Amino acid sequence: MQRRIITGLDVGTTSVQVVVADQKSEGGLEILGFGRALSEGMRRGNVVDTHDVASSIRRAVEDAERATGVPIEHAYVGFSGVGLGITATKGVVAVSRADGEISEADVDRVLANARAALPQLPNREVIHEIPSRYAVDKEMNIKNPVGMIGNRLEAQVLFISAFTPYLKTLVKSVELAGLAVDDIVASPLAAARAVLSKHQKEIGVMTLDLGGGSASISVFEEGGLVSTGVFPVGSAHVTHDIAIGFQTPLEVAERIKLEHGTLAAQSVGKRDTVRLADYIEGEATAISRRDLAEIIEARFKDIFELVDKHLKKIGRSGLLPSGVVITGGGAGLPGIADFAKRELRLPAIVGTPVGISGSHENIQDPSWSVALGLCLLGYDETKTGSFKTASVWQKILKRVGDWARPFIP
C-alpha cells in the first residue's frame, strides 16, 4: 500500500523546520521525523533573498530525509509574515425553499454573497475563507444552519489575506528548493491547530506564537475563529537588545539568552552573574543576571502590549476564560507563563500538541507547533480522500476546504 506522506514546512526568521508524517490507513497521523536548519534570507517572517531561503529549506529537508528515510517532494507551507491580514464581511440571502428549510445551496449562496461584499484588497491574495458564524432570522451564532427553518440566512465570513509580493517570494523560494506547494496556510492557524482543544476554542482562548522575527495570535470563541494578527517583533529582537546592552556578538547574546535568560527578574539574586569568559576567550568581565532579565522583560512587555492592544480592539482584553496558550521558540523562556498572566490578565500556559502521539522529544517542544499543525491541517484536508498535490495558485480564493473545519464554529 502506498504511503501517504504529509510534510509541514515552517520557514521562520531564525530557523526552517520540517515535520514529516504518515497518514495511517486506520486513521490518524504518525510523526516520522523532523528536520531543521538555520534560516538565511529572512527578515521579520518574510523572504528578502529567495536563493538564501531556498538553500535553508534544502538543508532542513535533507535533515528530515536523513532522519526519516523518506524523500520529500511537496509540503504544506506556513505563512507568518507581517503581511498577513484579516477582513470580515457579511452575506444575507432569503431562504429559497417554500417550507423555509435551509439547504446546502442556501449556505453556498450566502457565502457567495459575503464573498461579493469583500472590498478590493490591492496587492493582496486571499488564502483562507472561514465562516465565523451564521444567523437564521433572529437566532444568532448558529454553527450549522442546514436543516433549520427560517426566512433569512446571514453569514459572517473572515477572509485571511497575504501581501502578494511576500507570498510570491515565499512560494518561489520553496519551489527553488525543489518542493511543490500543497497549500499555503497562515501560521497562526497552524499553531492553533496543533495546541488547542475543542473545549478551549468553545469557551474562549488565544494562541500566542512567539517566533524569532514576529509574534502572532489567533483568537477563538464559541468554537470558531474570531481574529488573528501578526506583530513585527519577536525573540530575535531580545537577542539584539542583549547584544547591544552588554556589547557582545549576536551569537553570544543568543547563547546567553537561552542558557541564562528568564522572565522572572525578581527571582534572580542581585549578585548572580554570567561570566563572559565562558563564551568569549579572554573576556574577563561578567554581566548581571538581574540586568539580563530586565532587558528581556522590557522587550517582552512591548510584545504583550501589542497583543493586549489587539485584544482591546476586538473586545476580548482580559475576557478569554481559557486564557492564552503560548507556543514558538520564545515559549521556552523560564517564567513566560507567569509573565503572560500578569501582562494580559488571563490564565496562561505553554502549549503542547493535542492529539499527536509519539516518543520524539520535539513533539512536546512548543517551537515545533506550526510545523506540526501544518501536518495536522494537511491530514484534515486529505483524510476523506486520496492525497493530492496542487499548485498554490489553483487553491487561492477557493471556497473553504476540509482543512479549515477546525476553525469553523
Average pLDDT over residues 222-233: 91
Residue 379 has pLDDT above 50, yes or no: yes
The reply to whether 159 and 298 lie within a common domain is no
41 found inside a domain: no
* Structure confidence at residue 3 as a pLDDT band (50, 70, 90): confident
120 found inside a domain: yes
The reply to whether 251 and 302 lie within a common domain is yes
pLDDT in tens, 304-322: 999 999 999 999 999 999 9
pLDDT in tens, 62-117: 999 999 999 999 999 999 877 889 999 999 999 999 999 999 999 999 999 999 99
313 found inside a domain: yes
Percent of the chain predicted with pLDDT > 90 = 69
Residue 222's domain is classified under what CATH number? Answer: 3.30.420.40
- As a whole number of angstroms, the distance between CA 49 and CA 185 comes to 21
Could you tell me the CA-to-CA distances from 74 to 57, 179, 404 in Å, in that order?
Answer: 12, 5, 20
Residue 110's domain is classified under what CATH number? Answer: 3.30.1490.110
The domain containing residue 346 runs over which residues? Answer: 198-352
pLDDT in tens, 258-290: 999 899 888 888 788 888 888 888 787 888 999
pLDDT in tens, 141-171: 888 899 999 999 999 999 999 999 999 999 9
250 found inside a domain: yes
Nearest to 54 by CA among 166, 176, 182, 171: 176
pLDDT in tens, 16-38: 999 999 887 777 788 999 999 99
The reply to whether 203 and 285 lie within a common domain is yes
pLDDT at residue 399, rounded to an integer: 37
In this prediction the pTM is 0.89
pLDDT at residue 407, rounded to an integer: 59
The reply to whether 243 and 345 lie within a common domain is yes
C-alpha cell of residue 103: 439547504
Residue 360: how many other CB atoms lie within 10 Å: 14
Task: Give residues with Cβ within 8 angstroms of 7, minimum separation 6.
Answer: 18, 19, 20, 21, 64, 72, 74, 75, 76, 375, 378
244 found inside a domain: yes
131 found inside a domain: yes
**DSSP symbols for 66-128:** HHH-----EEEEEE-STTEEEEEEEEEEE--STT-B--HHHHHHHHHHHHHTPPP-TTEEEEE
309 found inside a domain: yes
Residue 326 has pLDDT above 70, yes or no: yes
The reply to whether 94 and 214 lie within a common domain is no
The reply to whether 132 and 254 lie within a common domain is no
pLDDT, averaged across the chain: 88
- Of 303, 325, 352, at which residue does a domain stop? 352
Nearest to 181 by CA among 392, 16, 19: 392
The reply to whether 140 and 228 lie within a common domain is no
- Of 118, 139, 163, at which residue does a domain stop? 163
Residue 5 has pLDDT above 80, yes or no: yes
The reply to whether 151 and 237 lie within a common domain is no
Average pLDDT over residues 326-342: 94
Residue 348 has pLDDT above 70, yes or no: yes
The reply to whether 239 and 153 lie within a common domain is no
CB-count burial class (<10 Å; 0-12, 13-18, 19+) for 349: middle
pLDDT at residue 394, rounded to an integer: 45
pLDDT in tens, 178-215: 999 999 999 999 999 999 999 999 999 999 999 988 99
The reply to whether 248 and 127 lie within a common domain is no
Residue 387 has pLDDT above 70, yes or no: no
- Of 163, 186, 208, at which residue does a domain stop? 163
292 found inside a domain: yes
Number of domains in the chain: 2
The reply to whether 232 and 108 lie within a common domain is no
The reply to whether 311 and 227 lie within a common domain is yes
The residue ranking higher by pLDDT, 129 or 353, is 129
